[in-house]
Structure 1
């Protein structure tokens, strides 16, 4: 079969009806040339594609198989039946109505849940409506015709309050190309249990695409603080029968307030060496997350996720165990930029930001961390193994600002390697006594970590060293970083009182420091009054950019995440 090739120029692939072990279409890119024998179709399976340029399809015959009809680059996608708009009003509606006009709306969400929605359909929930039942979407749209559920009219948001009636307020279950926006969701109850404000769940269905959760007001979700996989917004990809992941998932401009345990969290069961099937093109942006039992924002099982301009306040407020503001777990190439993380309450971890284990090339860029009980940045991993943890490799923290964080500004815990911390600005306030850089044990120690061109402004006291013992959530330290290896410092600026300073041949040292007046009045938002959130986001982003430019003395240039090459093995 050598020499048989097909060029896949400018093709747009829909989901193939039948593939052997995974969705081959995910590996096709416009313009690539692939050997036919690598396509691994079942005999007589179909691969559907469309072409913007209108080429005809081809009938391919591979020696040793029956003919395979591959409508490669065929003329256009199948015609979509006329889309319909459905109206739902809890006050004026009736489920016996057709639901296709504002004068004859449906009444219940159960009517929506049971109805066979089609691609392009819209479901408009009347403002001022309220339901004590969940909204569950289990039908799929298409890339050019998503199913949309949103609010319509002037007045209070449509409210879904499921109380103790359902695990979720809103769910997208085994469906793709679905947009949910503009709703208020609560899920409170007398006792904790696994609960969700919004659940996006895909199980045993391969690649699940095109989901949007935006402009939601999610509050008072009484989940259990004993497990991380519940809370405000959870996206969950699982499947023992068929590897499952998300592609093109957007979680944007949501308010998540007073929820347990997680604010926004990702779940995946394909994160080991042999079962690595990460979600791609995941964007978590412009969300406000406050008063969270455990962790604020935590993607898991992703490659190239973008976590940008989110505000997380008051994480770690109730959950036992370890929590942090914004972090990732079992990911590659995460880009965490332009976020504010503040007032994390616990000191079990308790940092504003965390680069966690089984991960590579996590980048923290242009973030603002302040007033977190546990510190600014944790980089951590237990001992590497050959099944489900490759350690923590290649973390970069660059152009961030920390102000008045407590306890541990930079913590290197366990098997961390090849990390770079550079060009950050740290302000330690008067009266604070912190560990500026501390190496701690987690089944081993860090190696090959560089601190370069950072500015450490200390009006209180800053210490450096490695763990010599524990006292509850706090670490006792001794001078020097051993047994951590190759923790190096170069060209940093040390102002104020520093104890057990590391060697830094090109460092600049000043024994005194007095904090200078500056604009630290960051815009604030009251989640009890959700109106005006869009204006707040604009003001907050503008203030962040101005503050960062002042502190860093450089233009702020945001980046785009990069995904792993399909030719790179995850080892």
Structure 2
């Protein structure tokens, strides 16, 4: 018995004998070894069926096109992840899964896996058998406890024709489901991807463990440096996370096709989400339709140094319906600080339902000439907001800004009357109201100036054509630099980004069974 234990200990200490496998759709042969370019395999089915080991690398050859999915079901280790990437010259290796598979690339019940450098589409009017939803990239863990060490980076995901009837499909989706055993992700990063022309969601996190009595949030979640453009529904939405970082993403033209309520960047049932240095623009719907949203059953969401512009529904929604134990704690202690809104329409700030302890501070809002908006609208969702503070914001209005509470609806639009009540204890301290404001709230330390004309400024945010993915890394650098300069100019202070922080054990909700 001691000899067996010694052998096992020695085996665990031995270096991993990793291999590199090549796949070439043009010249490969599945009967070959795969261990050299001239011995490449031909199909992704060969990869899917192969027993990959920790440390193994799979290289897909540039210029190759496969009409079949890539599915990884084997795990690496923390020091030896399984890696899938691209090699060779020419166009990115391309996976076309339309009509063949619900996913183009999937990591299923596996951990320590890194996927990068591929092009993925999933566009077909025909659906594979059983494919109610459709994905570009799917990372799925079910009934396996904690799943660690997933990376999805430098992917070009486009033309994913998912169903707009469900939010849990689209470009890149990571889902942790635990009907039998509580399941979550630990250390998952989705970075530097292009997600373009997808339905319904751009980048979405899914969890079924989000109530107080069944709370098992994913941790160390990072969604950073992604371009998400032309999305049927929501742009970026993590769900069931603690301490997620959503940083420097560009979301444009969300809400373009899906019915119902959609927004650019938001979270659902989360603790301590940090949403910073993002651009959300041109959200197309007014059913919600804001650039940013702090939503249902969430605590301590921070929106910091973001740029919202040209969104049909406005800048920021903070919302949740009334408490319904054990599912919904409401929206507690959201903070929106040092953000800039320009040319947003409809409702700049909307407080809807069971919102408590929110702080809206140090933001700069620009309303253009001839534009009539609801600067602050308190609306009903099984109740009204309470205990919200607006402090040191600058409202620069060349058009018209209105303030009030919901008295009716006209389709996606709210009809408001004077005053924020029945929302309760909404306080204003040191805000600047420049231009034409109707039913403006009292602010004893505020500044009121009846006329305002906008000064010329650089609003030419860098743009990128997702039809031409080359040069994306350079664009990200230019965009980040422009954002930092614009924010410093508008806010009149240095930009100091924060680090994401999960709640402490003393603040945590009840954990899952």
TM-score range, shorter chain: over 0.9
Equivalent residue for 2:482? 543
1:113 to 48, 53, 57: 48
The separation in 2 between residues aligned to 1:503 and 1:77, in whole angstroms, is 69
2:24 to 70, 89, 92: 89
The separation in 1 between residues aligned to 2:13 and 2:43, in whole angstroms, is 33
Equivalent residue for 1:282? 221
SS of equivalent residue, structure 1 residue 437: strand
> What RMSD in Å do the two structures reach over aligned CA positions?
1.4
List aligned pairs for 1:297-376, cutoff 5 A: 297-376=236-315
List aligned pairs for 1:152-301, cutoff 5 A: 152-190=87-125, 193-301=132-240
TM-score by length of 2: 0.96
Find the structure with the greater CA-based Rg: 1
SS of equivalent residue, structure 2 residue 211: coil
2:411 to 463, 472, 476: 472
SS of equivalent residue, structure 1 residue 538: helix
Equivalent residue for 1:570? 509
Give every structure 1 segment of 4 or more consecutive aligned residues whose post-TM-superposition deviation is greater than 4 Å: 74-77
Partner deviation per Cα, 1:376-419 (whole Å, 9 max, x = no partner):
00000001111110000000000000000000000000000000
Equivalent residue for 2:78? 143
List aligned pairs for 1:464-503, cutoff 5 A: 464-503=403-442
The separation in 2 between residues aligned to 1:223 and 1:559, in whole angstroms, is 35
Please tell me whether the aligned partners of residues 394 and 433 of structure 2 are also in contact (alpha carbons under 8 angstroms). Answer: yes
Segments of structure 2 that go 5 or more residues without pairing to the other structure are: none
The separation in 2 between residues aligned to 1:168 and 1:359, in whole angstroms, is 30
The separation in 2 between residues aligned to 1:90 and 1:570, in whole angstroms, is 50
The separation in 2 between residues aligned to 1:306 and 1:210, in whole angstroms, is 16
1:407 to 346, 350, 373: 346
Please tell me whether the aligned partners of residues 260 and 293 of structure 1 are also in contact (alpha carbons under 8 angstroms). Answer: yes
Tell me: CA distance 1:500–1:76, structure 2 relative to 1, closer, same or farther (3 Å).
farther
Please tell me whether the aligned partners of residues 191 and 222 of structure 1 are also in contact (alpha carbons under 8 angstroms). Answer: no
Please tell me whether the aligned partners of residues 367 and 396 of structure 2 are also in contact (alpha carbons under 8 angstroms). Answer: yes
Partner deviation per Cα, 1:494-519 (whole Å, 9 max, x = no partner):
00000001010000010000011000
Please tell me whether the aligned partners of residues 16 and 80 of structure 2 are also in contact (alpha carbons under 8 angstroms). Answer: no
TM-score by length of 1: 0.86
Tell me: CA distance 1:75–1:485, structure 2 relative to 1, closer, same or farther (3 Å).
farther
2:380 to 399, 420, 441: 441
Segments of structure 1 that go 5 or more residues without pairing to the other structure are: 1-69
Equivalent residue for 1:131? 66
The separation in 1 between residues aligned to 2:258 and 2:450, in whole angstroms, is 40
Equivalent residue for 1:33? none
- How far the C-alpha of 1:567 sits from its partner, in A, is 3.1
Partner deviation per Cα, 1:223-282 (whole Å, 9 max, x = no partner):
000000000000000011110000000000000000000000000011011110000000
Equivalent residue for 1:383? 322
- How far the C-alpha of 1:154 sits from its partner, in A, is 1.8
- How far the C-alpha of 1:558 sits from its partner, in A, is 0.3
- How far the C-alpha of 1:569 sits from its partner, in A, is 4.0
Partner deviation per Cα, 1:409-454 (whole Å, 9 max, x = no partner):
0000000000000000000001110000010000000000000000
Partner deviation per Cα, 1:507-564 (whole Å, 9 max, x = no partner):
0010000011000001000000000000000000000000000000000000001111
Residue-pair matches, total: 500
1:430 to 369, 384, 390: 369
SS of equivalent residue, structure 1 residue 221: strand
Please tell me whether the aligned partners of residues 263 and 297 of structure 1 are also in contact (alpha carbons under 8 angstroms). Answer: yes
The separation in 1 between residues aligned to 2:111 and 2:479, in whole angstroms, is 32
Please tell me whether the aligned partners of residues 254 and 282 of structure 2 are also in contact (alpha carbons under 8 angstroms). Answer: yes
SS of equivalent residue, structure 2 residue 175: strand
Partner deviation per Cα, 1:271-303 (whole Å, 9 max, x = no partner):
011110000000000000000000000000000
The separation in 2 between residues aligned to 1:240 and 1:341, in whole angstroms, is 34
Partner deviation per Cα, 1:441-487 (whole Å, 9 max, x = no partner):
00000000000000000000000000000000000000001111001
